[in-house]
Amino acid sequence: TPEQVRAAARAFRVYVSAGPRDADGDYVVDHSVLTFLLDPDGIFRDCYGSARTAEEVARSVRGHMDSYEPLPPEGG
């Protein structure tokens, strides 16, 4: 929902703003240009901006994959 999108933007502290609609009802969305890495448990692990090279991102992702340990089961 739109509220869920706003909540996610707030949670990740990203900028997002829809521009005015044109005659066809289309609009441009101005936003932060970031890629977030979340682990399988949904925990934030890293953030990549446009200054990071593909090799740096790949090395970071691989490092997080190699060191990942699942959360223990709830109540366990």
Q: Which residues are annotated as a binding site?
A: 31
- Which residues touch 19 (CB under 8 Å, ≥6 apart)? 27, 28, 29, 30
Binding annotation for Cu cation: 31
Instruction: Provide the pairing of β-strand 44-48 with 29-31.
Output: unpaired
Within the chain, where are the H helices? Answer: 2-12, 54-67
Amino acid identity at 14: V
